[in-house]
Amino acid sequence: MQATSRDYEPPARVVHTGLFASFHYADFRLLWIGQLGWSGANWMEQVARNWLVWELTGSGVALGLVNLFRALPQLLMSLPAGVAADRFNKKYVLMACQSVTMTCYVCMLGLVIAGLIQLWHIYLFSFILGISMAFNQPARNALIPNLVPEHIMLNGFALNQVAMNFMRVVAPGIAGLLIGWFAVAAAFVGAVVLFAVVIVATIMMRAPGAKSVSQTESAGGQLREGIAYVLADKNILVIMIIALAVFTFVMPYNTLMPIMADNVLDIGAQGFGLLLSVAGIGALIGGLTVAAFGDVRHKGLLYLGASFGYAISVFLLGVSPSLGLGVLLPMFVMLFIGAGQAIFMTAGNVALMAHAPEELRGRIISVYNLDRGLMPLGSAGGGALSDWLSAPIALMLMGGAASAMIAVVGALSGRIRRL
């Protein structure tokens, strides 16, 4: 008999509630610790990578391209990654991804220390890291419903976001300080150390619910089955249309932050890390707020509101430098950007998992991640706009376009408001 989350839930009479309800499950705790380390390492590497590219080139286009190479595998590999998440043991999929990621971090660190790093190296490792992330996300997200019962699934996804965003508060600021005090290599060292925590936590995780659902059908047949299910489910389609606007026009704002910090706000590497940390504080607040809900009846409205708020906040970030309040107003806006992103990600994942059969969860997440694969276009377009016009104008155009798209979908689709 195939193992499921029922094999290791407590007796039915025990109903865990509260802010940290999901922590009553040992495997979820280990997954959470791994998410904590992964997020910290990822943010430190991201700050180091973007700052290194800016130092090497001084080009917004180059920043856009390096993030293009990082995100492009989401588009190319998302569907095969979903099949892998459903077809193989999810724990082993995570371990394979982590081995690739650690290898890339160590290689980049070695090249930076040796003074041999070149732009094409960063492009190459960014692409490989993107492949690893493309396979990691469907497996990790599809695993959460196996580790906690359905009534606290929103809590589990929210706490997963809290883990990501707690380190988002801490890691970018530390990375910025390490770069300012020492050199960019120090931030890469921090990423390697933190990622070791991820590997240890994943090895310790038993996760019987991580086993494959079925291998009786071919991989191609399973892929077609997942796509057909998504196309037939109108609720999932509406969720993906909104995600399309956010992933294409809103999330790429991060690509422009080195330019905002250095050229617009004149606060350097430490200020760059601080801006990202402030966004992390907002995301932490947003994630804890959703976790405290336990469950909400209208997840679609929560998803719609968070998406719109996130987009408007990016627009306001572009406006803020022109209002004469120095760095204070951009810092304040970054709080709302972080909160909007955390709630958007949590509500979107839960809305999808609530409509997805267990045997299709990995594939449905992977189709959803096709929207994320459009981030490269947004990153490249944002970088080009910043070189042609300016970073603030690019942010206003990106946030404004997404806000308009989300508002139209929300007005025309009663389905999303009833989810």
Over the stretch 104-135, which tens digit does the pLDDT of each residue have? 999 999 999 988 888 999 999 999 998 998 88
- Residues 65-90 have pLDDT tens digits of 887 788 778 777 777 777 777 777 88
Contact 256, 395 (CB under 8 A): yes
pLDDT at 176: 81
The C-alpha atoms of residue 85 and residue 96 are separated, in whole angstroms, by 12
Report which of 174, 161, 160 is spatially closest to residue 44, judged by C-alpha positions.
174
The C-alpha atoms of residue 193 and residue 45 are separated, in whole angstroms, by 11
Q: Which residues contact 275 (CB under 8 A, 6 or more apart)?
A: 172, 257, 260, 261, 267, 330, 331, 334
Distances in Å between the Cα of 202 and the Cα atoms of 28, 153, 401 are: 11, 20, 40
Contact 398, 312 (CB under 8 A): no
Distances in Å between the Cα of 54 and the Cα atoms of 122, 150, 162 are: 12, 45, 29
344 burial class (0-12, 13-18, 19+ CB within 10 angstroms)?
Answer: buried
Contact 182, 51 (CB under 8 A): no
- Position of tokens 């943010």? 43
Contact 292, 312 (CB under 8 A): no
Residue numbers of the chain with a pLDDT score lower than 70:
1-18, 207-226, 230, 232, 293-298, 354-362, 369-374, 376, 414-419
pLDDT at 145: 79
Helix H or strand E segment including 257: helix 257-259
The C-alpha atoms of residue 356 and residue 360 are separated, in whole angstroms, by 6
pLDDT at 109: 92
* pTM exceeds 0.85 for this model: no
**For residues 316, 319, 325 and 330, what is the CA-based torsion angle, rounded to 10 degrees?**
40
Domain boundaries of the chain, sorted by first residue: 21-418
The C-alpha atoms of residue 161 and residue 77 are separated, in whole angstroms, by 23
CATH classification (class only), 21-418:
mainly alpha
Maximum separation of any 2 CA atoms in the chain, in Å: 66
Pair of tokens at residue 146: 């196996």
Instruction: Please count the other Cβ atoms lying within 10 Å of the Cβ belonging to residue 73.
Output: 22
Pair of tokens at residue 413: 């689709």
pLDDT at 83: 76
Distances in Å between the Cα of 340 and the Cα atoms of 98, 302, 304 are: 28, 10, 10
DSSP of 184-247, one letter per residue?
HHHHHHHHHHHHHHHHHHHHH---GGGS-S--SS-HHHHHHHHHHHHHH-HHHHHHHHHHHHII
Q: Which residues contact 337 (CB under 8 A, 6 or more apart)?
A: 253, 279, 282, 310, 313, 314, 317
Please, how many CA atoms are within 13 Å of residue 303, restricted to the half-sphere of its CB? 30
Helix, strand, coil content of the chain in percent (nearest 5):
85, 0, 15
Sign of the dihedral through C-alpha 382, 383, 385, 386: positive
